[in-house]
Amino acid sequence: MKLLVILSLAAACHCSTSKHGRRFPDDFLFGTATAAYQVEGAWNKDGKGENIWDHMTHTNPTVIRDQSNGDIAADSYHNYKRDIEMMRELGLDAYRFSMSWTRILPSGMANEVNPAGIEFYNNFINEMLKYNITPLVTLYHWDMPQKLQELGGLANPLFTGWFEDYARVIFENFGDRVKMFITFNEPREICYQGYGADLKAPILNSTAVGTYLCAKNLVMAHARAYHLYDKEFRATQGGQCGITISVNWFGPVTDSAEDAVAAEIKKQGEWGLYAHPIFSSEGGFPKELSQRIAEKSAAQGYRRSRLPEFSEEEKAFIRGASDFFGVNHYTAKLISATKFKKPVPVPSFLDDMDVGEFIPDRWMSAASEWLKLAPNSLYNALTYLKEKYNNPVFYITENGWSTFKDRGLHDYDRIIYYRASMESVLKCLDDGVNLKGYMAWSLMDNFEWMQGYVERFGLYQVDFSDPARTRTPRKSAFVYKHIVKHRYVDYEYLPESMTMTIDDGH
Ligand code: PNW
């Protein structure tokens, strides 16, 4: 009897202990994330072609807050061994990074493959595997080949074929060792910010239709890459192919029925537009949303809805076409049906949503103006997705906090943020969310898009004035390492010294 009690206590220890609260499962994948344009540099080295971020920052530098660019960035192209050393210092299980399309296919199309690009990623992947670090590869993290953008980029339906051809080159060259592929990073940021507004390259600002043309083609391109993997590569390679969608939380600002409806429409517009066609059992764009856009379009004098619908055949092709749901989660906003509205272009995606947004002052602020620590936002988002889409396999593929560039190494607010996220992850696991891993954004400081190098997301600080791009761990790096190693959140832990070491086994 005594033995039984001890045994059952030992079993319970796997997920909870009295001293430290709940624990993360041993097979939970902890990692960090980056993206090619933000860290690699070497923008024109060894045959790499031009992408839209190269093009925009070179021809239109004033759109970037500090007029900088990713020409050198953290120079990971030359420092990749140091990056992997940092992963070993942190004791990571996994690393999520993106491949640069034009480093592999300089013109964007698959007629010409750049051997130096293939070699770079081979070296990188092989070095990670030496230390048992699982690579998660994103195919598209915003760096569209400039030549393809000139042909319309994601607004051109033929994009779906160009993307499939690129995906084939990636699966053929790396799929023997890479088992986790993510087709697109954040459709909403690509389509709304890049095509529907002027907030990301290619700053098309095509407010009426940009977001929607891109949304249809992107979802279709994702599904083509998924089916290609499924039919031609899965049997021999045995990996998985999914997509990453940014899912921030949008709750109603009051408990009125109108605000509830407004918060729901906002969710549909911000991420349902991309998630519903793939993960819902019904398929296609979210119904209430497409109805609303169709009605508005008609009232505005359009002969057809500004949102191009899927055919039944397309719907069936896209539905279920993902092995997992990658979630990038950062923050939350409170949504109102009537209040807090700002002037927006008409017609536009924002006008179609037609809701107000409110952010309480009491939510702690990051350096990025959109980023606040919103209580339980990660938990709210994941448990909502679980119910809505029948609990698919989830990975948190990004989550993180920004500080200003002069902050240095003492990033206590980042530590508070990460601990809060970890609590949410544990609550999700308790509630049966099928969540398998968590990637912190970011391993190191990098080119933060329109904010240049002003806002920093790194667990490691990068000295961008130093040609060697020296990396130094922040306090948060030690705290994250402690969580990864011990698999629980220890609120008392802070590093005694700032000297980082590689522990045994990594
Ligand atoms: C993500 N929002 O972008 C990107 O995937 C990263 O490349 C980027 O560096 C990181 O988050 C930090 O910005 C986002 O407005 C941009 O909620 C905006 C939002 C979320 C994510």
Q: 337-392: per-residue pLDDT in tens?
A: 999 999 999 999 999 999 999 999 999 999 999 999 999 999 999 999 999 999 99
Separation of 419 CA from ligand 1 center, angstroms? Answer: 20
CA-nearest residue for atom 8, ligand 1, is 448
Of the residues 138, 199, 441, which should be mutated to test ligand 1's pocket, given the most ligand atoms within 8 Å of the CB? 441
With the CA atoms of 37, 44, 201 and 57 taken in that order, what torsion angle do they form, in degrees rounded to the nearest 10?
Answer: 110
Ligand 1 nearest-atom number relative to CA 331: 17
CA atoms of 13 and 506, how far apart (whole Å): 25
- The pLDDT confidence band at residue 16, using thresholds 50, 70 and 90, is very low
| Candidates 189, 264, 270, 398; catalytic one | 398
Ligand 1 nearest-atom number relative to CA 451: 13
Task: List, for residues 295-314, the tens digit of each pLDDT value.
Answer: 999 999 999 999 999 999 99
Q: Does residue 8 have a pLDDT over 80?
A: no
Separation of 76 CA from ligand 1 center, angstroms? Answer: 20
Separation of 396 CA from ligand 1 center, angstroms? Answer: 13
CA-nearest residue for atom 15, ligand 1, is 370
pLDDT of 505: 59
- Domains along the sequence of the chain with CATH: 29-486 (3.20.20.80)
Contacts of 439 (CB under 8 A, 6+ apart): 31, 32, 33, 94, 96, 136, 395, 396, 397, 398, 399
Pocket of ligand 1 (CB under 6 A): 35, 38, 185-186, 189, 246, 248, 328, 330-331, 370, 398, 441, 448, 457
Mean pLDDT of 73-82: 98
Task: List, for residues 130-159, the tens digit of each pLDDT value.
Answer: 999 999 999 999 999 999 999 999 999 999
CA-nearest residue for atom 18, ligand 1, is 189
DSSP string of 44-99, one letter each residue: TGGGPPPBHHHHHHHH-GGGSTTS--SSSTT-HHHHHHHHHHHHHHHT-SEEEEE-
Whether residue 25 is preceded by a cis peptide bond, meaning omega within 30 degrees of 0, is no
**186 among known catalytic residues:** yes
172, two tokens: 């053929």
pLDDT of 21: 72
- The pLDDT confidence band at residue 41, using thresholds 50, 70 and 90, is very high
Of the residues 64, 186, 243, which should be mutated to test ligand 1's pocket, given the most ligand atoms within 8 Å of the CB? 186
Q: Does residue 176 have a pLDDT over 50?
A: yes
Separation of 307 CA from ligand 1 center, angstroms? Answer: 25
Task: List, for residues 240-266, the tens digit of each pLDDT value.
Answer: 999 999 999 999 999 999 999 999 999
- The pLDDT confidence band at residue 4, using thresholds 50, 70 and 90, is very low
pLDDT of 15: 44
Nearest to 353 by CA among 453, 428, 271: 271
pTM: 0.96
Separation of 33 CA from ligand 1 center, angstroms? Answer: 12
Mean pLDDT of 71-90: 98
Separation of 330 CA from ligand 1 center, angstroms? Answer: 8
**HSE toward the beta carbon, residue 90, CA cutoff 13 A:** 33
Separation of 368 CA from ligand 1 center, angstroms? Answer: 10
Q: Which residue has the higher pLDDT, 17 or 269?
A: 269
Q: Does residue 222 have a pLDDT over 70?
A: yes
Write the single-letter amino acid at 445: D
Ligand 1 nearest-atom number relative to CA 142: 7
Q: Residue 27, Cα to own-chain centre: how many angstroms?
A: 22
Ligand 1 nearest-atom number relative to CA 35: 7
Contact present, 292 and 312 (Cβ < 8 Å): no
- The pLDDT confidence band at residue 506, using thresholds 50, 70 and 90, is low
**398 among known catalytic residues:** yes
Q: Name residue 33's beta-bridge partners.
A: 96, 441
pLDDT of 20: 59
Q: Does residue 18 have a pLDDT over 50?
A: no
- 3-class SS of residue 177: coil
- As a whole-number percent, the residues of the chain with pLDDT over 90 amount to 95
| Candidates 40, 50, 89, 186; catalytic one | 186
pLDDT of 504: 74
Mean pLDDT of 192-199: 98
